């Protein structure tokens, strides 16, 4: 007769959840684009289809831009996907940005007769990589990063999410190209064709939603051949606000005889300098007749720049005065309430009491897209990029970027202002994190919980429904056991897969003479798996999570054994027990054999054990 087996799970396993960090990322986008001008003859409706071209390997279609090379009041535009339009001050469409999800764009002529519409269509492609940030990082960028198909031009964009504690420290061009070939700010660099080194360093995080305003315009001069330093100590920053930087216009001029130029240059230095315009221009003075010969040459030199940081320096080597206009720019975190489908931004009268202008600025991760903006007076703005709305005695600038990740709206312009709650409707995609085993196979039987958001699981994936741009922590369980703690510092659309150590464990139970023991109950304490050995004395457990455990062995309810088990790869372990033989399902141990020396026969021992088996349990530890 075979005895019923018992499974004892008496010891706690040492399963330590693996901590995995998804670090802050710099997103590098290599952009390739091709423009063509054409004339469309439209009577009724015509369509522009998605292109079937590619600039090179690895590029994905990112949409198109349609610019109208003229004013066409009767033309309306629509698409079967994402569409953002730009309007002039008369309300006519000047351009449209079409998302990659749209397969065609429809142009509708509302006039009775056919009209010719001149357009410039730019097809845009992107190749994206992510650069993990840890300490100081140097990103080398070649634009383009390879050979492109004929007719394509290239640029690149590097972006750091606002809440990441990293900033762009500087940008270098090995060829000595002028700074005007790139645009830069603390979290973004845009680069034209060339080679670059972008230096990224630990720095201040910035709010994803902020109020930005300019203070009063300041004017001064820089002496000939001299320099001038302006620091934050000289700026009356309003309480609660922080200095972001300065808008700077430095210029000089001189009149010389033709053939001569005034030697010198203007240099602007600071924490991070974005040169918007760098102009050297010569004008010849002449009268309408020969009355005054063209012998005078007007030398004009000016630079326009944005400088980020506490201070800047303007120096000149010109023998003339340099006139300097600078405007301090300040910011502060906005008062915002995040909801799953929107952000409510409260702007108070106090926020608008100073400055030349004030705006709400949003910069969101790639999982988010601003769909529309509603003002406190219920004006609705959607699908609009770089538009100016009539507002009071002037205009109100407002924009939602074509990809929806950024938006701004002016809330104060001079004496015109609007306080209250602004609603930004936001479409969030869940962050989908793949979970695989060490062989790359999707892992099932998952559960997960995030500290700030709702998390759900399917085979091979954890989805986190983020709705605000900030890091979070995610705990993943496999078969109810803590498997990984994931610290998510970057809300990217395609995060790195999480790899769980899941392995096969084979346990073989033998007796004192190395004979296989069949029918032994084997369990992994602390992990939900157990089984019974076969005739070879073995039992195989598939898919055991990596960790340190205790194996518990129970033979016939009398012989119990424990064994340390460390799972960091596929494991085969042999557990030796003090079992001499199995008699009718009863394990006979070396201890029992001593009893036969005292006069019991083997048969007598069997019947004695059958009557008193509970009293003869043997535990081996």
Give residue-wise pLDDT tens across range 561-604.
Answer: 888 999 999 999 999 988 887 777 778 877 766 655 544 454 45
Which residues are CB-contacts of 435 (< 8 A; sequence separation ≥ 6)? 442, 443, 446, 460, 461, 462, 476, 497, 498, 499, 500
Helical H runs in 205-314? none
Handedness of CA 445, 450, 456, 460 (dihedral sign): negative
Q: In the predicted model, what is the mean pLDDT of residues 277-288?
A: 91
Distances (CA, A) of 561 to 106, 523, 588: 76, 11, 15
Q: Are strands 335-339 and 342-347 parallel, antiparallel or unpaired?
A: antiparallel
Q: Tell me which residue of 468, 384, 511 sits closest to 94, measured CA to CA.
A: 384
Q: Do domains 429-500 and 502-620 have the same CATH topology?
A: yes
How far apart, in whole angstroms, are the C-alpha atoms of residue 517 and residue 561? Answer: 13
What is the pLDDT of the chain when averaged over all its residues? 89
Residue 14 pLDDT: 42
Q: Is the pLDDT higher at 512 or at 211?
A: 211
Q: Are strands 242-257 and 342-347 parallel, antiparallel or unpaired?
A: unpaired
Q: Higher-confidence residue: 178 or 40? A: 40
80-94, 101-115, 517-531: which has the minimum mean pLDDT?
80-94
Q: Is the pLDDT of residue 27 over 50?
A: yes
Strand 420-428 versus strand 342-347 pairing type: antiparallel
Average pLDDT value for residue range 404-411 = 96
Element (H, E) at 103: none
pLDDT at 17: 57
For 422-443, give one letter per residue: b (16+ CB within 10 A) or e: bbbbbebebbebbbbbeeeeeb
Distance CA 476, CA 457 (A): 9
3-state secondary structure of 280: strand
**What pTM, to 2 d.p., does this model score?**
0.85
Strand ranges for 223-295 from DSSP E: 227-230, 242-257, 266-285
Q: Which residues contact 359 (CB under 8 A, 6 or more apart)?
A: 211, 212, 213, 397, 408, 409, 410, 411
Neighbour-count burial of 349, counting CB atoms closer than 10 A to its CB (0-12 exposed, 13-18 middle, 19+ buried): exposed
**Whole-number Å distance between alpha carbons of 415 and 355:** 10
Whether the pLDDT of residue 15 is over 60: the answer is no
Please give the average per-residue pLDDT across 61-67, as a whole number. 94
Indicate whether 409 pLDDT > 80: yes
b/e sequence 450-472, b meaning 16+ C-beta within 10 Å: beebebebeebbbbbebbbbbbb
* Assigned fold of 502-620: Immunoglobulin-like (2.60.40)
Structure tokens that stand for 193 in this block: 């064709």
In the numeric block, which tokens belong to residue 246? 């300065």
The CATH architecture to which 429-500 belongs is: Sandwich (2.60)
Span 180-223, pLDDT tens digits: 789 999 999 999 999 999 999 999 999 999 999 999 999 999 99
Round to whole Å and give the CA distance between 475 and 472: 10
- pLDDT at residue 491 above 80? yes
By mean pLDDT, which of 234-243, 356-365, 380-389 is the weakest?
A: 380-389
Q: Using CB atoms within 10 Å of the CB of residue 192, give its burial: 0 to 12 exposed, 13 to 18 middle, 19+ buried.
A: middle
Q: Residue 331 pLDDT more than 60?
A: yes
Cβ partners under 8 Å of residue 469, min gap 6:
161, 162, 163, 208, 364, 365, 368, 491
pLDDT on residue 341: 96
Mean pLDDT for 231-259 is 93
Distance CA 104, CA 47 (A): 6
pLDDT digit string (tens) for 106-124? 999 998 889 999 999 999 9
Q: pLDDT grade, residue 253 (50/70/90)?
A: very high
CB atoms within 10 A of CB 279: 11
More confident residue, 377 or 4: 377
Q: What is the distance between the alpha carbons of residues 213 and 328, in angstroms, rounded to a whole number?
A: 9
Average pLDDT over residues 444-451: 95
Mean pLDDT of 362-385: 94
* Residue 611, SS3 per DSSP: helix
Looking up tokens 């457990």 gives: 541
**Cα 323 to Cα 318: distance, rounded to the nearest angstrom:** 12
| Partner residues linked to 324 by β-bridges | 220, 250
CA angle 79/81/84 to nearest 5° reads 70
> Comparing C-alpha atoms, which of 152, 132, 136 is closest to residue 30?
152
HSE, side-chain direction, 13 A CA sphere, residue 314: 30
Angle of the 590-597 helix axis to the 602-611 helix axis, nearest 10: 120
Domain ranges of the chain: 25-202, 209-332, 334-428, 429-500, 502-620
Query: CA 485 from chain center: how many Å?
Result: 19
Separation CA 134–CA 199 (nearest Å): 12
pLDDT for residue 260: 82
Q: What integer pLDDT is reported at residue 9 of this predicted model?
A: 27
């Amino acid at each position: 007769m075979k005895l019923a087996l018992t499974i004892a799970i008496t010891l706690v396993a040492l399963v330590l959840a693996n901590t995995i960090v998804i670090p802050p990322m710099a997103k590098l986008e290599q952009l390739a684009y091709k423009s063509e001008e054409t004339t469309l003859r439209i009577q009724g409706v015509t369509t522009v289809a998605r292109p079937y071209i590619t600039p090179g390997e690895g590029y994905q279609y990112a949409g198109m831009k349609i610019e109208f090379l003229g004013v066409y009041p009767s033309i309306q535009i629509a698409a079967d996907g994402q569409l953002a339009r730009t309007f002039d001050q008369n309300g006519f469409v000047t351009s449209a940005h079409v998302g990659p999800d749209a397969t065609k764009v429809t142009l509708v002529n509302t006039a009775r007769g056919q009209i010719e519409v001149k357009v410039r269509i730019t097809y845009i492609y992107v190749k994206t990589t992510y650069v993990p940030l840890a300490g100081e990082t140097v990103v080398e960028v070649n634009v383009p990063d390879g050979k492109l198909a004929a007719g394509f031009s290239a640029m690149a964009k590097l972006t750091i999410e606002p809440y990441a504690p990293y900033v762009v420290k500087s940008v270098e061009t090995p060829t000595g190209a002028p700074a005007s070939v790139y645009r830069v700010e603390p979290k973004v660099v845009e680069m034209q064709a060339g080679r670059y080194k972008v230096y990224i360093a630990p720095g201040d995080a910035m709010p994803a939603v902020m109020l930005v305003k300019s203070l009063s315009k300041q004017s001064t001069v820089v002496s000939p051949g001299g320099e001038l330093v302006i620091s934050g100590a000289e700026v009356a920053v309003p309480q609660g606000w922080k200095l972001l930087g300065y808008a700077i216009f430095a210029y000089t001029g001189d009149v010389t005889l033709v053939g001569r130029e005034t030697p010198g240059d203007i240099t602007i230095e600071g924490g991070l300098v974005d040169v918007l315009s760098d102009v050297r221009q010569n004008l010849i003075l002449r009268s309408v007749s020969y009355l005054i010969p063209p012998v005078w040459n007007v030398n004009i030199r000016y630079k326009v720049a944005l400088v980020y940081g506490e201070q800047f320096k303007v120096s000149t080597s010109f023998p003339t005065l340099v006139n300097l206009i600078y405007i301090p720019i300040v910011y502060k975190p906005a008062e915002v309430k995040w909801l799953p489908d929107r952000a409510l931004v409260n702007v108070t009268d106090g926020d608008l009491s100073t400055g030349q202008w004030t705006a709400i600025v949003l910069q969101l991760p790639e999982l988010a897209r601003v769909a529309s903006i509603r003002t406190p007076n219920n004006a609705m703005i959607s699908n609009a990029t770089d538009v100016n709305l009539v507002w009071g005695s002037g205009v109100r600038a407002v924009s939602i970027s074509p990809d929806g990740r950024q938006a701004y709206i002016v809330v104060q312009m001079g004496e015109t202002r609007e306080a209250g709650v602004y609603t930004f409707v936001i479409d969030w995609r869940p962050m989908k994190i793949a979970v695989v085993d060490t062989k790359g196979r999707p892992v099932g039987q998952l559960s997960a919980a995030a500290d700030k958001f709702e998390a759900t699981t399917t085979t091979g994936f954890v989805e986190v429904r983020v709705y605000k741009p900030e890091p979070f922590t995610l705990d993943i369980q496999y078969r109810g056991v803590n498997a990984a703690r994931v610290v998510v510092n970057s809300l990217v659309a395609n995060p790195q897969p999480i790899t769980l150590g899941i392995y096969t464990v084979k346990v073989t139970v033998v007796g004192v003479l190395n004979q296989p023991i069949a029918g032994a109950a084997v369990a992994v304490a602390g992990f939900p798996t157990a089984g019974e050995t076969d005739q070879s004395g073995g039992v195989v457990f598939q898919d055991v999570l990596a960790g340190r455990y205790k194996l518990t062995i129970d033979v016939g309810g009398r012989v119990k054994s424990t064994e340390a088990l460390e799972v960091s790869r596929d494991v085969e372990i042999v557990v030796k027990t003090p079992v001499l033989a199995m008699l009718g399902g009863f394990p006979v141990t070396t201890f029992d054999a001593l009893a036969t020396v005292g006069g019991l026969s083997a048969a007598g021992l069997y019947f004695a054990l059958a009557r008193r088996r509970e009293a003869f349990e043997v535990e081996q530890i």
